[in-house]
């Protein structure tokens, strides 16, 4: 078993390319390296420099390497094809230019994350589901032109969030589409990450690592708190402090001979600038102490 540990701008409260509430990118890069990480995701396109030469210089002087980054779209919307293709191409080109390997694909959310307003049906009909699968497979083909792999990220408040939906997704998509299993989101939606990894490890080369505070989650569920406000209440927590059993997860990863990335990605928006670094350092130390990384 070999877990290559890393982190992501999300663990510094970064959700958008440009936002005054977010940690400046230079501070993020300094702190992620100081916390002990050597691998990162790029975050939303435009948060870090998009000029490959400039970005490589920023990474190299801090000893950082890139795994990849994400693209997020309503994958069931056939009318967004041209827009989607353009963003995927530019994102893949940047990932490839700086030595990354993975495009992390996420279906867009069906609610307004801040108000909870329903923006689209929570479940897709058969035609929409077929389009989501088709679009995912097409992006997989597009990514291969940049010699990248696509890993799909099941995410809360999207159309692939519950375990049954993820199972169907794996059945319907091409085998070359991998999974970025976010163990925190999986647990949040009632799944057992360790059992799921045991069943589907052949499709999982990439993990997002965080946990869930069940007390906060119970409040979120009972009061109908929107997702972004739940995140601001610290619904997602560092691995040593939540409901996900990371020692058990490590045991399963050893059992199946996992070799891949484990990226700490603790949803944290908005985050006071001084908040992320101590959490990142504790998280790095905890995961390495238990043998994950």
The CA distance from 261 to 4, in Å, is 5
Q: In the prediction, which pLDDT does 231 show? A: 97
At residue 81, does pLDDT exceed 80? no
Q: List the alpha helices (DSSP H) in the chain.
A: 25-34, 52-60, 81-97, 126-144, 163-172, 183-188, 193-200, 214-223, 227-232, 246-256, 276-289
Q: What is the CA radius of gyration of the chain?
A: 18
What percent of the chain is modeled with pLDDT above 70?
100
**DSSP secondary structure code for residue 217 in this structure:** H
So what's the pLDDT on residue 2?
Answer: 97
- Is residue 71 very low, low, confident or very high in pLDDT (cuts 50, 70, 90)? very high
What is the rounded CA–CA span in Å between residue 212 and residue 239?
A: 8
Over 90: is that where the pLDDT of 17 sits?
Answer: yes
* Kind of pairing between the strands at 236-237 and 102-107: unpaired
Tokens representing 44? 């939303």
Q: What is the pTM of this model?
A: 0.97
Q: What is the pLDDT of residue 85?
A: 86
Q: Which residues contact 8 (CB under 8 A, 6 or more apart)?
A: 40, 41, 43, 208, 263, 264, 265
Question: What distances in angstroms separate CA 66 from CA 35, 42, 149, one per listed residue?
Answer: 16, 7, 14
CA distances from 98 to 11, 26, 259 (A): 21, 17, 22
Domains with residue ranges and CATH for the chain:
2-289 (3.20.20.150)
What are the tens digits of pLDDT across the range 217-233?
999 999 999 999 999 99
């Amino acid at each position: 078993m070999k877990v290559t540990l890393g982190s992501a701008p999300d663990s510094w409260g970064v959700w958008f390319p440009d936002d005054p509430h977010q940690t400046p990118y230079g501070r993020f890069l300094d702190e992620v390296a100081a916390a002990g990480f050597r691998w990162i995701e790029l975050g939303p396109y435009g948060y870090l420099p998009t000029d490959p030469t400039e970005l490589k210089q920023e990474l190299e002087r801090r000893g950082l390497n890139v795994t990849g980054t994400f693209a997020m779209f309503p994958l069931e919307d056939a009318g967004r094809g041209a827009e989607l293709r353009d963003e995927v191409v530019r994102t893949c080109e940047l990932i490839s230019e700086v030595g990354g390997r993975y495009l992390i694909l996420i279906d867009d959310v069906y609610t307004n994350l801040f108000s909870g307003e329903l923006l689209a049906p929570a479940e897709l009909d058969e035609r929409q589901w077929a389009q989501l699968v088709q679009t995912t497979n097409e992006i997989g083909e597009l990514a291969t032109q940049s010699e990248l792999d696509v890993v799909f990220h099941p995410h809360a408040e999207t159309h692939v969030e519950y375990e049954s939906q993820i199972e169907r997704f794996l059945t319907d998509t091409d085998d070359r589409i991998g999974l970025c299993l976010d163990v925190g989101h999986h647990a949040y939606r009632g799944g057992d990450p360790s059992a799921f990894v045991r069943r589907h490890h052949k499709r999982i080369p990439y993990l997002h690592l965080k946990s869930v505070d069940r007390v906060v989650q119970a409040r979120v569920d009972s009061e109908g708190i929107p997702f972004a406000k739940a995140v601001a209440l610290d619904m997602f927590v560092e691995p040593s402090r939540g409901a996900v059993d990371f020692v058990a997860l490590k045991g399963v990863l050893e059992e199946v001979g996992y070799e891949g990335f484990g990226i700490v990605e603790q949803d944290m928006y908005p985050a006071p600038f001084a908040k992320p670094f101590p959490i990142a350092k504790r998280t790095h130390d905890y995961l390495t102490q238990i043998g994950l990384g």
